[in-house]
Chain A
Amino acid sequence: MQHYNMNLTLKVWKQKNGKTKGGFETYPVRNVSSEMSFLEMFDVLNEQLVSEGKEPIAFDHDCREGICGMCSMVINGRAHGPWSQNTTCQLHMRAYEDGDTITVEPWRADAFPVIKDLVVDRTGFDRIIQAGGFISVNTGNAQDANALPIDKQKADESFAAASCIGCGACVAACPNASAMLFVSAKVSHLALLPQGEPERMTRAFNMVNQMDTEGFGSCTNIGACEAECPKGISLENIARLNREYIGSMLSGSKVEGMA
């Protein structure tokens, strides 16, 4: 792949905190290498801003290798940018050309309030996990590895669901700001395994309940979440969540606040 440098115009959402109204700021960025990642380009811009005595842009990031789920930018309307099954930190500048204007916004959902600039508060996801995304395990010696036989296909499906990194791109991409894909991945990953059985009849109900309490929207099966998910979590998980939820309802065991 040919290496090239480019000059870009960035329109970035700036917001002092959750209480103030934000707005777009325009920044020119020069000599951006096509081999930089999107976040490295932001590092360059921020160093430039610091050297000019201006305030740098706040953005979330951690591992920068696509596995932690911290980076969260809506780039030209696309959560994590234009590449499919990709996180912002793994998006490279070769996706752009000289002279491009790029609009960068935070995840927008009332359940994800802006903390500063592009940083949003995603602790709503933690509270959903606390409501049911766990299993009860006895302490003591580790069990023999193959003591519990698990169907290969179920193990694979569970593993695929467990690859959700909880970044919130599904919420950001959903026109309804629904967290169904996230909740469905977390419910699926436990519901498919025998270890998830003890809480199974209450898990889906409690997690969906918490999702509603947090102020996420309702799923209308649009599918934008699946299209934007950096880990390729499938809508089949939402179908499974719906089955688990119906099962939860029919079982009649509504245990609130198990955590």
Chain B
Amino acid sequence: MSLTGLFLITFLIVHCYINAQIFYNDGGARFTEAAHFMGTNFLIRTVEIGLMGFLLLHVIQGLALWSKNRSRRTNRYAVNAGSATSPWYSRSMALLGTLILLFLIMHLSKFWAPNRFSQITGNGEKDLYHMMKEEFQTAWVVGVYIFGCISLGWHLVHGFYSAFQTLGLGTSRYKGLIKTTGIAFSIIVPLIFIAMPVAFFMNWLA
């Protein structure tokens, strides 16, 4: 969980950086250039296969862990401590992860899949900038994106710290740094992602 999670966190940074190019407000010129590089570079495309593999592994490991851990307490408590002993998001990683997965299925079928399909069938890359512009005119799509990114944020608040703790780095010296960085990351990255559909919806971008 930890290693695949850290890989996916690294991916988020790259994805966020590339897509934030739209905020140059240059009609998508810089974004299209970056997307073209990411979509055609041999090395990136190879890592993409690894990314899909790690994503799948993360989902399978997570669900297996969730179901195994659930089975360790057949007779459950009548009264639960709830938030008195632990934050809700740390206990809801499987739920948050499932929400993110459902969001990802929608997200990938909107942009990634049609673009790759077009490339494979020899029709070249799609104009992702204008696809975004068009998709994010619909209010419910923007709503689902905001919800998906909020789920991602809560998932990261626990996931970021937890990944380092599993690797044995949650010592008194690093714990504060890891937690603070994790919380900052979990707020900033999803917020930048949320800003994208919102910016298109509000017609802030040309």
A residues contacting B by CB (< 8 A) are: 11, 22, 24, 74, 76-79, 103, 105, 108-111, 173, 175-178, 215-224, 227-228, 235-236, 238-243, 246
Contacts and interface: CB of A to CB of B under 8 A. Distances in A.
B165 A221 contact: yes
A236 B165 CA distance: 8
Nearest to A102: B79
B79 A105 contact: yes
B122 interface: no
Main secondary structure of the interface of A (DSSP, over half): mixed
Q: Would you list the 10 A-B pairs with minimal beta carbon distance, nearest first?
A: A243-B168, A77-B79, A176-B69, A217-B72, A242-B168, A239-B170, A227-B85, A177-B72, A221-B162, A224-B85
Interface residues of B, number: 35
Nearest to A76: B79
Contacts of A243: 168
A236 B175 contact: yes
A106 to B, nearest CB: 9
Contacts of A217: 68-69, 72-73
A242 B81 CA distance: 27
Given A222-B90, A242-B168, A173 B72 contact: no
19 contacts: A22-B75, A74-B77, A76-B79, A77-B81, A109-B72, A176-B73, A178-B72, A217-B72, A218-B68, A219-B166, A220-B162, A223-B87, A224-B81, A224-B85, A235-B165, A239-B169, A242-B166, A242-B167, A246-B168
Contacts of B91: 175, 222
